[in-house]
Amino acid sequence: MTTSTQIVGRSLHGLTYAVLGWAVAYGGVRLAWTVGEAPEFGRLGLDLLGFTGWWSVALCAAAGGLAVALDRVATWRPALAALAWTVAGALVAAAAILLPELVGFLLFTVGPFFDPLAFVSRLGCVTGAVLLSLATARYQRRTRGDCPACCRTVRPGTRRSAPARWARWAAWAAVGGLVTRFAAQFAVGFDRVDQSASLLGLEIGLVLAGVLLPLALVYHWGEVWPGWVPLLAGRTIPRPLLLVPGFGLGAGIVAYFGMGMVQVTSGSHSEFSDAFLWVAMSAYLVMGMGLVIGSTDYHLRTRGQCGACGR
C-alpha cells in the first residue's frame, strides 16, 4: 500500500541528470580549487561571494542530493521544496557579482576588476541555480496537482484582468527605493561618485529599471503600446519584454545588494560611511523585491489560456 513517504521506483528524469551532471562537474572544480590552489581571479581576488571554499562544494553537493530527492519523493513536501529554493537562491547570491558585469557589457565596458575565469565560474554557478529551480518547479507541478503545461492550480474563470493591489504597492515601493537611493547619493555629494560616461549610462538605466519598468508591470500601458509610440501604438506588448528584465534585474539586485549588506555587517571597509551603505543598499533591496513582485503579478495576469487544462 502506498504511503505518504513512499519513494517512486523509476528511473531519474532528464532534468535530474542535468543537475547531477552540473553538481559533479562544477562541484569537482570547486573541490579542486578548495583542496588545491585556486586561481587569483584578477584584481578582485574572488569569483563567488560568501559561499567559497568548502561552502561552495557543499552547495553543489546539496543541489545534487536535492535534485534526486525532488525526483523520487511522490508527495508534496513543502519543507523539501523550501530547502531546494533556498539552495538555488544561495547559488544566485554567491554569483551576485554577475549582475554588474552583465550591466557593464550592456554599457560596452567590463571595468577594471573583470576577470574572464571568474566570469565563467559565476555563469556556472547560476547555471546550477537555474537547473535546480526548474527541478523544484517540476516537483511542485507533479506533486501538487498543477497543470504540467502551465503550472496553474486555480479553477477556470478565476483569472484577473486588473493588477492586484499588492502588486501596485510593490511597484511604487520600487520607485520609492530608487528615489531613496538617489537621495542618499545626494546627501554624500555627487562629486564623490565617478561621473564617467559609463556610470551616467548606468544611472539612466536605473531610472528606467526603477521607475518605468515597475510601473509598466502594474498599469495597462505595460500591456498595450501607448498611442505616442510610433508604429506600435495599440499593439500588445510582448510579455518577455517586461518579464525578462523584471525577474532578471529584480532577482539580481536582491542577490547583489543582499550579499553587499552581509559584507557591511561583517565589517568590510568602504570609502562611504556605514550609514550611507545601509540606506542605499536597503533602497536597492526594496527596488529589487518590488520588481520581482510586480513581475509575478504581470505574469499571472497576462498569460494566455492553457491549451492543456483550459485554465
CA pair distance 61, 236, nearest whole angstrom: 44
The amino acid at residue 200 is L
Cα distance between the two ends of the chain: 33
Higher pLDDT, 201 or 185: 185
Find cell 504511503 and name the residue: 3
- pLDDT tens-digit readout, 101-128: 887 777 667 767 788 999 999 999 999 9
pLDDT tens digit string along 224-233? 888 878 888 8
Closest CA to 170 of 238, 237, 224, 217: 217
Q: How far is CA 103 from the centre of its chain?
A: 14
What's the pLDDT at 42?
Answer: 79
Model confidence at 192: pLDDT above 70:
no
Instruction: Work out the number of other CB atoms within 10 angstroms of the CB of residue 219.
Output: 12
Express each pLDDT in 232-260 by its tens digit. 888 899 999 999 999 988 988 998 888 88
Q: What is the pTM of this model?
A: 0.77
HEC profile of 134-178: HHHHHHHHHHHCCCCCCCCCCCCCCCCCCCCHHHHHHHHHHHHHH
Q: Are 142 and 302 in contact (CB under 8 A)?
A: no
Cα separation, 137 vs 267, in Å, equals 37
- CA–CA–CA angle 134, 49, 255 (5° rounding): 50
Q: Higher pLDDT residue, 26 or 149?
A: 26
